[in-house]
Structure 1
Amino acid sequence: MTTYDGGSRMGVGSLRSPPFWVCILLGLVMIAAGILVLGDIMVMTLISTIFIGWVAIITGAFEIIHAFWTKGWGGFVWQVLLGILYIAFGIVLISQPVVSALILTYVLGLVLAVSGFVRILLGITHWREAGWIMLLSGVFGVLAGIVILTGWPTTGLWVLGFLLGVDLISHGVGWLAYAWRPAVAVSST
């Protein structure tokens, strides 16, 4: 029977927090980047689509390289095919960013609507265990999906850039809040 030492010297709880000024700087830079992104969400939507395309191409290349360390022909063939699919997907995203942004936005709308519906069902079935939070999250997901899908294809030109900008701003606000967390919480950890 294997036992594990729970009192290791380097756990997540023992990591030092970044200095105050780093948290503030990171928060302000992220908020500024979010505002910059929201300044031209159509261009940022296209840039996001191209970025996703490059990530898919790089992932596909690594998948193909990794296939050579796979045992057996079956696994090798599937990994190579998956890598080729990733690369082809990335090339399409990069070569046709406007159409790709429309398709990605449509898929995002479908995913938000379906996952929101599932979260609503989970919230109802787990109502006693604070399921109302899951229910509320599901309602927002369904509403976001409906907004994207009913406004499509126009939403395809701005949704990805808008979500990126909002995410950057909220992440920046999170870093600022982390920087100014109460001293009691810091000293008790």
Structure 2
Amino acid sequence: MASVFNEMPTSSTLRSKWLWFVGLGLLLLICGLIALGNLLVATVASVFYVGMLMLAGGIIYLIHAFQVRSWDHVLFWALSGVLYVLAGICAFINPILTSAILTLFLAIALLVAGIFRLFVGMRMRPLKGWGWIVTSGIITTLAGFVIALGWPVNSLWILGLFLAIDLIVQGWTMVAFGLGIRS
């Protein structure tokens, strides 16, 4: 694993590829703007992506189930695999229901993460910069609360919005990086 980090590309190698970074960034920006233009389609696309991952994970679980030795372990891994496969199939059969479930999980995760950050930030109070952690916790908790308040109606667009924002941020990052290594 250490050899991967030791073999980082040199700045001259990256500099010769600056245009590729800018091109990738522009492509990501375009995709992000398209997703922003139709959040429902972007939500369905993200649900299908999660569904494909769950199907693949379920198949891997099922294959793994028959590699273990004892029957009780086979049953556990096979049941896990079947549940993953069923969840993946559900994502394709009913993406709107799946988006509602994923949006609810997102709201809960943001609430829990935000409250945890608030707790950690308050415990770090004597240290410099603790306020940033508390601020991050407040913002994350508020985001989870707002999503939970709008659920299930906002599940038609919230996952698409997150996807669009991620694509736009990654696009700007790649463009800035490409232009940065050019000079």
TM over 0.5: yes
Return the alpha-carbon distance in structure 2 between the equivalents of residues 142 and 39 of structure 1: 27
Query: Which residue is equivalent to 2:83?
Result: 85
State the AA in 2 paired with 1:138: G
| Mapping 1:62-81, distance limit 5 Å | 62-81=60-79
Of 113, 116, 126, which aligns to 1:115?
113
Residue 149 of structure 2 corresponds to residue 150 of structure 1: yes
TM-score with structure 2 setting the length? 0.87
- Percent identical pairs in the alignment equals 30
Which amino acid letter does the alignment assign opposite residue 130 of structure 2? G
Q: 1-side partners of 2:80 and 2:96: how far apart?
A: 24
Give secondary structure in 2 for the equivalent of 1:70: coil
- SS of aligned partner of 2:9: coil
Instruction: Encode CA deviations 1:133-162: one digit per residue, 9 max, x unaligned.
Output: 322221111111111111122211100001
Q: CA deviation at 1:26?
A: 1.2
**CA separation in 2, counterparts of 1:116 and 1:107?**
14
**TM-score (norm: length of structure 1):** 0.85
Q: Which stretch of structure 1 is more off in the superposition, 33-42 or 105-114? A: 105-114
Structure 1: gaps spanning 5 or more residues? 1-7, 185-189
1:61-90 superposed Cα distances (whole Å, 9 cap, x missing partner): 011112222243333221111101101111
1:16 to 2, 9, 13: 9
Cα distance in 1 for residues equivalent to 2:88 and 2:140: 27
Q: Within 2, Cα distance between the matches of 1:71 and 1:138?
A: 45
Task: Please identify which structure carries the higher helix content.
Answer: 2
| Secondary structure of residue in 1 paired with 2:180 | coil
User: Match for 1:30: what amino acid?
Assistant: L
Could you tell me which runs of 5 or more consecutive residues in structure 2 were left unpaired when the two chains were aligned.
none
Distance 1:47 1:11, change over 3 A: closer
With a CA cutoff of 8 Å and minimum separation of 6, indicate the structure with the bigger relative contact order: 2
The amino acid that maps onto 1:16 is P
Return the alpha-carbon distance in structure 1 between the equivalents of residues 95 and 130 of structure 2.
40
Counterpart AA for 1:149: A
CA distance in 1, matches of 2:180, 2:23: 15
Matched residues in 2 for 1:129 and 1:86: separation?
Answer: 44
Using the TM superposition, name which of 63-72 and 39-48 deviates more: 63-72
CA RMSD for the aligned pairs? 2.1
Between stretches 120-129 and 174-183, larger displacement belongs to: 174-183
Q: Distance in 1 between matches of 2:119 and 2:153?
A: 30
Aligned residues: 177
CA distance in 1 between partners of 2:45 and 2:33 (Å): 16
SS in structure 2 of the partner of residue 69 of structure 1: coil
